[in-house]
Amino acid sequence: MGRAMPSNSMFEVKICGIKDLGAMNAALTAGADLVGLVFFPPSPRAVTPLGGADLAAAARGRAMVTALVVDADDTLLRDIMARVNPDLLQLHGAETPERVKAIRECFGKPVMKAIAVSTAADLKQLAAYEAVADRILYDARPPKGADRPGGHGRPFDWNLLSAVSHKKPVMLSGGLNPENVADAIRIVRPDAVDVSSGVEDTPGVKNAAKIKAFVQNARAAAEKYLREKVS
């Protein structure tokens, strides 16, 4: 079984964009709490529901399997559910709050909604999504003309989140890597962090040493800064 929803005393690390068993084993060995499979063909990290089934099987019982989709229709979601049976759905497109609610109710899985951030105005939609999602993920808004919403290795201004109050667990993504994850945690104090390109050698090719360093650095920072959050 996957971990329960995070609390102030539990911090989680997610390795996303896993597309082969070598990367999956590296993430699991490093102690990742969540592993992300991308079901969006424009991404260099994309897998099919059939390929994702083998990866999910390797992680089952060791980490929470997250299925990342972008404006997916019900046909794709049904295929993912049947083959992969993820623990968590990550909606990373332009899904409306109504669509988020419908997916959660239809498929009976916890849902994490990604919000793209570049300015404070992007946070105005937070309340509407918190009302229907189980978790919120903040990612950097993609560059103009990009063919995918995430995985570009670009951070946003984390200080935009420093004074935001949340009702649901928060995962921070967008340009994180082993070198900057501690600063990100110090500023945002999230419940979880998420990395993809920041632990790669080339797009889609994960580096086991970078994964290990990211998990270790994130946990050390969480122990230091999140203790202050609850004290």
Beta-carbon contacts of 14 under 8 Å, excluding residues fewer than 6 positions away, are: 32, 33, 34, 35, 36, 66, 171, 192, 193, 194, 195
3-state secondary structure of 83: helix
Verify whether residue 139 is a known catalytic residue.
yes
Cα separations (Å) of 16 from 3, 27, 173, 196?
Answer: 16, 9, 10, 5
16, 87, 191, 194: which one is catalytic?
Answer: 16
Verify whether residue 106 is a known catalytic residue.
no
Tell me, what DSSP letter sits at residue 157?
Answer: -
Cα separations (Å) of 90 from 38, 64, 196?
Answer: 9, 12, 14
33, 73, 134, 139: which one is catalytic?
Answer: 139
Annotated catalytic residues are 16, 139
